[in-house]
Structure 1
Amino acid sequence: MGDDRVLGEDREEACSAIAVPASLSSAVAGYQWARNLVGQSGGAVYRLHGKQRATDLFLKHGRDALADDITGEMVRLRWLAGHIPVPAVTYFVGTADEAWLLMHALPGQTAYQVMESQPDERIAIVDALAAFLRRLHAIPLSDCPFTSDHAYRLARARARIDAGLVEEDDFDAEREGWSAEQVWDALQTLLPLAPDPVVTHGDFSLDNILLRDGVVVGCIDTGRVGIADRYQDIAILWHSLGEFDPGLQDRFFARYGIADVDRGKLHFHLLLDELF
């Protein structure tokens, strides 16, 4: 996670320190706290900053099912560290129903922040993102112990729908007013998919990629990492780029190396993402 983020009401807000296990107390002492307001499906995320001669830290905390997700992210971070730059795990504490994951911040800002603040650099940023995604997708499948394919994620999505966990008021504008069941039904019409498996990030959005001086320095929010169709990542980044300029979407396809875009897969993975 980045240590050059600017505090802003739309991205994070200052907050008080939360209670942590005794084993974490000394590691978080002396820091100012800010709660992240972006992408909190994996539990509460806090930036710990402002301590003299100390690196910024990030803390993820969750209970029950979210604790399981945070545990899964910890395992994935430790595996990914051997392949691409990710935050180093400083401490992890897990109980039967609660988890805390403390990580060192990576340098830099999110791709979203850089795109927003440096519009003249957007094409170069897209090129850097495409190169990094190709690097991720080139990790040998035999090295990856995690599965995140669409069958696995559909099963999880169905469980989330049945448990009433899908935030229907947070759907993209194209599906405003839809129910989770309508999204589910639309997904079924796009099956079966011809798989093109690679190691995927799972949520390759502009908020989860960090840059510094025009170079991608790593990725965060890795709880969905696993083998899946490459369009799992392609669709999410494509959609994120469209918030700035549709021309950037075409640039991304060209730089990644896609000449014939599979629109069905784009649509499928964007629909699937609504349920998480």
Structure 2
Amino acid sequence: MNVDREYPCDAVPIPAGLFTLLEGYQWARENVGESGGAVYRLHGKTGAPDLFLKHGRSAVAGDITDEMVRLRWLARHFPVPIVEGFIATQDEAWLLMTAVPGQTAYQFLDAQPDARVGIVEALATFLRRLHAIPVSECPFTSDHAYRLARARERIDAGLVEEDDFDDEREGWTAEQVWKAMQGLLPMPSDPIVTHGDFSLDNILMLDGEVVGCIDVGRVGIADRYQDLAILWSCLGEFDPSLQQRFLTQYGVTDLDRRKLQFHLLLDELF
């Protein structure tokens, strides 16, 4: 992995129930996608596969529990990390998972400029497959009413990282983001099964194909723009033409900019 996306670290204290599973591994801490918790890559153990360990307290512990439940459900439909161990206490949670082979879509786009169009088309194809899972089979709700309630809780608890907002909202407060979202409501919903955080760092690829997704704690029934907006924003960091290529390949013929803006604002609060 790119050295700027993780760094070596010492082993951290872990529950006794996980100690034997992690003995002999080298540790590295992730710099991307921690969402208030800690993510570690366990590697370098002879004859053993790489593993990932997530750890969090308080609200983050609840998020990790949500991810564990969703991983086990989503594994029926798509390649996702296998849960190797899970321990939760009243205020803390640990989730141990297998590593999905490949590199993140971000790494592929960064390293292969000439292959970007093909990579984006593969991402769109994978997302269409994910969105085709029957809603009747999904037990999780992540619609914007539910997400708004969670966002309000995060604002009130002071959990929103205002210094990490996108450039368009640099200097904004969480309350300003909240007010801007309210101005876009109400809006119709197109409920499907969504990933919830479909960013380039959460999609894994190998040989030009998507081989799995990670960070699935927000999987649930929501509007398709929940996923479209996040990936659209990520692709803009590389080339705006890739944004249009993604939408075309996915099948969006008339971009709903109101929904796009709403979900970009919503993502700032998580």
Shorter-chain-normalised TM-score: which range?
over 0.9
Write the letter of the residue equivalent to 2:234.
S
Query: What is the TM-score of this pair, normalised by structure 2?
Result: 0.99
CA distance in 2, matches of 1:234, 1:140: 18
Q: Tell me the equivalent position of 1:156.
A: 150
Q: Tell me the equivalent position of 1:120.
A: 114
Q: Identity of aligned pairs, percent? A: 73
Q: Tell me the equivalent position of 2:15.
A: 21
Residue among 227, 231, 234 paired with 2:225? 231
Q: Tell me the equivalent position of 1:143.
A: 137
Q: Tell me the equivalent position of 1:195.
A: 189
Q: Tell me the equivalent position of 1:275.
A: 269
CA distance in 2, matches of 1:130, 1:273: 20
Q: Tell me the CA shift for residue 266 of structure 1.
A: 0.6
CA distance in 2, matches of 1:150, 1:188: 11
Q: Tell me the equivalent position of 2:177.
A: 183
CA distance in 2, matches of 1:81, 1:191: 34
CA distance in 1, matches of 2:13, 2:28: 14
In structure 1, stretches of 5+ residues that fail to align are 1-5
CA distance in 2, matches of 1:102, 1:167: 26
SS at match of 2:93: strand
Write the letter of the residue equivalent to 1:111.
A
Q: Tell me the equivalent position of 1:3.
A: none
Deviations along 1:124-182, whole A, 9 cap, x unmatched?
10011000000000000010000000000001111111111111111000000111110
Q: Tell me the equivalent position of 1:107.
A: 101
Q: Which runs of 4+ in 1 moved over 4 A?
A: none
SS at match of 1:93: strand
**1:42 and 1:69 in contact (8 A); partners too:** no
Deviations along 1:206-252, whole A, 9 cap, x unmatched?
00000000010000000111000000000000000000000001100
Q: Tell me the equivalent position of 1:95.
A: 89
Q: Tell me the CA shift for residue 7 of structure 1.
A: 4.2
CA distance in 2, matches of 1:19, 1:166: 27
CA distance in 1, matches of 2:209, 2:216: 19
Q: How many residue pairs align between the two structures?
A: 270
CA distance in 2, matches of 1:18, 1:7: 22
Q: Tell me the CA shift for residue 73 of structure 1.
A: 0.3
CA distance in 1, matches of 2:243, 2:91: 41
CA distance in 2, matches of 1:7, 1:230: 31
Q: Tell me the CA shift for residue 53 of structure 1.
A: 1.1
Residue among 184, 207, 211 paired with 1:213? 207
CA distance in 2, matches of 1:65, 1:151: 19
Q: Tell me the CA shift for residue 79 of structure 1.
A: 0.1
In structure 2, stretches of 5+ residues that fail to align are none
Matched, 1:240 2:240: no
Write the letter of the residue equivalent to 2:188.
A
CA distance in 2, matches of 1:261, 1:133: 16
Q: Tell me the equivalent position of 1:45.
A: 39
Query: What is the TM-score of this pair, normalised by structure 1?
Result: 0.97
Q: Tell me the CA shift for residue 64 of structure 1.
A: 1.4
Matched, 1:255 2:249: yes
SS at match of 1:76: helix
Q: Tell me the CA shift for residue 42 of structure 1.
A: 5.3
